[in-house]
C-alpha cells in the first residue's frame, strides 16, 4: 500500500484507541517490574533472585528493546507495519506467559529478553501506523492524545502491580499482559491496513548483532563486578573490554553504510550529539535510582506492594505535568534556559536519596519523587522534540532511531552500574555484622539485604535484619551520590552544546500535505 487510504473518522478513532491501548501496555510493563523486584528477591514469596539476577531481569528487556528499535522500522517498511506490529504482540504475549510461570531467575531473564523483542517490534510500528492513519491538523491532535498514554501507563503500572502482588503470586504482574495483547491483536486485524513504504530501507543484521553483542558483554562485565566485588578479575574486565570493542566495530560498520539504521554521523552535529548524550546520562540516572527505590520502599521501609505502588504515583504525575509545562516555556525562552535548570534539579533529586533513611517521613519521599518526575518530564520531551525537529526531513527517521537507542542504552548501563555499586558497598557494610556467624548464614546475608532479612527471621536474629537495613541504606547513600554526579554531567553537556538563544526559523514545509499524501512517513518518527 503506497498511499494511505482516506479512512473514515470513526475508524481513525478506533485505530487510535488500539494504539493507545498498546502504548499503555508497554509503559505498564516498563514500570511493573520495579514494584515486583522486592518480591522476586524473597526466597519464599518469589524466586530468591540475587541483585545480579534482578539487574539482568530488568536490563535484558531494555537491552533487547534498545537494539531492535532501529531495525524494526526497516522491517515494517519491507513487510508491512501491521505485520510487524502483530508479530511483536504475539511475541510479547507468549513471553509474558513464559515469564509468569518461570521456575527460576534464569528463565525469567530469558522471558524478559523475549518481551523486549516484542516491545522493540511494537513501538516503531505503532508510531508508523499513527503517522499513516492521520494527516494534517488531525495528526497533531492524534499525537497529543497518544502522548497521554505514557503518563497513564506510568501511573497505572505500579498501582496495578501492587494490587496484584497483594492478592496473587508474583507471576500475575506478567500474566495480565496476555488478555490486553490479545484484544489489541484482534483490533489490529480488523481495523488497521497493512501500511508499508514504497521504498523499503535496507536491513542491518550486522549492526544489530554487533550492538547486541557489545551491550550484552558490557552489561555482563559490569554486573559481574557487583557479584564478585573485584574489578581485577578476568571475568569482569575482559567482557567490559570486549563489549567496548564490539561497540566500536559497530560504529565503524555503520559509518561505512550509505543508509545506516543507526547513523553515528549525526553525533557530529553539536546540539544533536550533545543533547543525546545528556538524555542518555539522564536515563542512566533514572534507571539506577528507580532500581534503588524499589528496594528502599518495600525492603528497608517494609511497605506492602500496594502502598509502594501508590507511593510512586507522584513521579508519574510530575512527568505528566512537566512535559506540557516545558513545551509552553520553550515558546518564550531558549531551550537551554528550560532544560539545563530542569536537568540540574532532576540530578539533585537523585542525590536526595542520600538523605533518606529508615525514619524518613513519607511526605518527604513523595515531594522528592514529585520533583524528580516534574524535572525529568521537563527535559525529555522538549529536548527530544528539538533534536528531531532540527534535523532535515530525510534524516528524521535515522535521528529518531539514534535518540531512542541512546536513551534505552543509558537505562541498561544505569541498571548495571547502579546495581553493581549497591552490591559492592552493601557487602562491605554488612561484613562487620557477620563476625562469628556460620558459613551458610554469612554467605546468604552477603548476597543482599532481602536474603539477610530472610535468614535473620529463620534463625531468630532481629539484629541481623537491622544490620542489613543499615547496610542497604549506606549502600543507597553512596550509590545516590555517584548517580547524581553522573546525571549532573548531562547538565554540563547541555550547557555547552545547546544554543544560548533560540533561533527563529522559517516554517518547514509540511511533508504530509493532502496533495503529497503518497510521501512516506518515517517509521521511527
30-88 pLDDT, tens digit per residue, is: 778 878 888 888 887 888 888 778 888 888 888 888 777 767 777 777 788 888 889 99
Q: What is the pLDDT of residue 513?
A: 36
Coarse DSSP helix, strand, coil percentages of the chain, rounded to the nearest 5 percent = 80, 0, 20
Same fold, 9-195 and 265-499: yes
CATH of domain 9-195: 1.20.1250.20
257: left (phi over 0), alpha (psi -120 to 50) or beta: beta
Task: Look at residue 364 in the predicted model and tell me its pLDDT.
Answer: 94
CA 365 to chain CA centroid, nearest Å: 22
Residue 165: all three cell numbers together: 502482588
Q: Check residue 524 and give its pLDDT.
A: 37
Q: Where are the domains of the chain?
A: 9-195, 205-256, 265-499
CA distance 378 to 321: 8
Confidence at residue 460, expressed as pLDDT on a 0 to 100 scale: 81
Looking from the CA of 262 toward its CB, the CA atoms found within 13 Å total 28
pTM: 0.79
Q: What is the distance between the alpha carbons of residues 212 and 70, in angstroms, rounded to a whole number?
A: 12
Angle between helices 270-295 and 462-497 (to 10 degrees): 170
Query: What integer pLDDT is reported at residue 105 of this predicted model?
Result: 87
- CA-based nearest residue to 66, from 25, 105, 31, 30: 30
Model confidence over 153-186: pLDDT tens digits? Answer: 777 788 888 888 888 888 888 988 899 899 989 9
Q: Name residues of the chain where pLDDT drops below 70.
A: 1-6, 70, 136, 140, 144, 147, 151, 197-202, 229, 259, 261, 388-401, 500-525
Q: Classify residue 20 as exposed, middle or buried by CB count within 10 Å of its CB (0-12, 13-18, 19+).
A: buried
Q: Could you tell me which CATH number the domain at 265-499 has? A: 1.20.1250.20
> Alpha helices, DSSP H only, in 302-395?
305-311, 313-329, 335-351, 362-389
Amino acid at each position: 500500500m503506497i498511499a494511505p487510504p482516506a479512512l473514515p473518522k470513526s475508524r481513525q478513532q478506533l485505530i487510535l484507541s488500539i494504539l493507545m491501548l498498546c502504548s499503555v501496555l508497554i509503559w505498564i510493563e516498563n514500570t511493573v517490574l520495579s514494584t515486583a523486584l522486592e518480591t522476586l528477591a524473597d526466597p519464599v514469596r518469589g524466586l530468591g533472585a540475587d541483585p545480579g539476577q534482578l539487574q539482568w531481569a530488568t536490563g535484558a528487556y531494555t537491552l533487547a528493546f534498545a537494539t531492535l528499535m532501529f531495525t524494526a522500522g526497516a522491517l515494517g517498511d519491507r513487510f508491512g507495519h501491521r505485520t510487524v506490529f502483530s508479530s511483536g504482540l504475539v511475541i510479547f504475549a507468549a513471553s509474558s506467559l513464559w515469564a509468569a510461570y518461570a521456575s527460576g531467575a534464569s528463565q525469567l531473564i530469558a522471558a524478559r529478553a523475549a518481551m523486549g523483542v516484542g516491545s522493540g517490534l511494537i513501538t516503531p510500528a505503532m508510531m508508523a501506523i499513527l503517522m499513516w492513519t492521520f494527516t494534517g491538523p488531525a495528526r497533531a491532535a492524534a499525537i497529543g492524545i497518544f502522548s497521554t498514554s505514557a503518563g497513564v501507563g506510568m501511573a497505572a503500572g505500579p498501582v496495578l502491580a501492587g494490587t496484584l502482588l497483594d492478592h496473587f503470586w508474583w507471576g500475575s504482574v506478567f500474566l495480565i499482559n496476555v488478555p490486553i495483547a490479545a484484544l489489541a491483536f484482534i483490533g489490529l486485524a480488523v481495523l488497521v491496513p497493512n501500511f508499508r513504504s514504497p521504498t523499503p530501507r535496507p536491513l542491518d543484521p550486522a549492526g544489530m548483532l554487533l550492538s547486541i553483542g557489545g551491550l550484552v558483554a558490557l552489561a555482563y562485565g559490569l554486573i559481574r563486578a557487583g557479584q564478585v566485588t573485584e574489578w581485577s578479575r578476568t571475568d569482569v574486565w575482559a567482557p567490559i573490554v570486549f563489549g567496548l570493542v564490539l561497540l566500536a566495530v559497530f560504529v565503524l560498520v555503520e559509518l561505512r553504510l550509505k543508509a545506516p539504521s543507526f547513523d553515528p554521523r549525526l553525533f557530529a552535529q553539536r546540539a544533536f550529539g550533545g543533547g543525546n548524550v545528556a538524555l542518555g546520562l539522564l536515563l542512566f540516572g533514572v534507571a539506577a535510582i528507580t532500581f534503588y527505590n524499589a528496594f528502599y520502599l518495600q525492603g528497608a521501609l517494609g511497605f506492602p506492594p500496594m502502598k509502594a505502588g501508590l507511593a510512586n504515583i507522584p513521579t508519574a504525575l510530575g512527568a505528566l505535568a512537566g512535559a506540557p509545562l516545558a513545551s509552553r516555556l520553550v515558546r518564550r525562552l531558549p531551550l537551554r534556559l528550560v532544560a539545563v535548570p530542569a536537568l540540574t534539579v532532576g540530578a539533585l533529586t537523585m542525590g536526595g536519596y542520600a538523605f533518606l533513611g529508615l525514619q524518613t517521613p513519607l511526605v518527604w519521599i513523595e515531594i522528592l519523587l514529585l520533583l524528580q518526575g516534574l524535572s525529568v518530564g521537563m527535559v525529555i520531551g522538549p529536548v527530544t522534540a528539538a533534536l528531531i525537529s532540527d534535523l532535515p526531513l530525510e534524516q528524521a527517521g535515522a535521528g529518531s532511531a539514534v535518540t531512542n537507542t541512546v536513551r534505552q542504552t543509558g537505562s541498561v548501563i544505569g541498571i548495571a552500574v547502579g546495581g553493581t555499586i549497591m552490591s559492592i558497598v552493601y557487602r562491605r557494610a554488612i561484613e562487620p555484622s557477620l563476625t562469628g556467624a556460620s558459613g551458610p548464614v554469612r554467605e546468604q546475608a552477603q548476597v543482599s539485604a532481602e536474603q539477610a532479612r530472610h535468614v535473620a527471621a529463620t534463625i531468630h536474629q532481629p539484629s541481623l535484619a537491622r544490620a542489613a537495613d543499615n547496610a542497604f541504606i549506606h549502600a543507597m547513600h553512596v550509590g545516590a551520590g555517584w548517580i547524581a554526579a553522573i546525571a549532573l554531567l548531562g547538565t554540563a553537556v547541555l550547557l555547552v552544546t545547546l544554543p544560548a538563544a533560540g533561533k527563529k526559523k522559517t516554517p518547514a514545509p509540511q511533508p504530509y500535505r493532502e496533495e503529497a499524501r503518497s510521501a512516506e512517513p518515517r517509521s521511527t518518527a
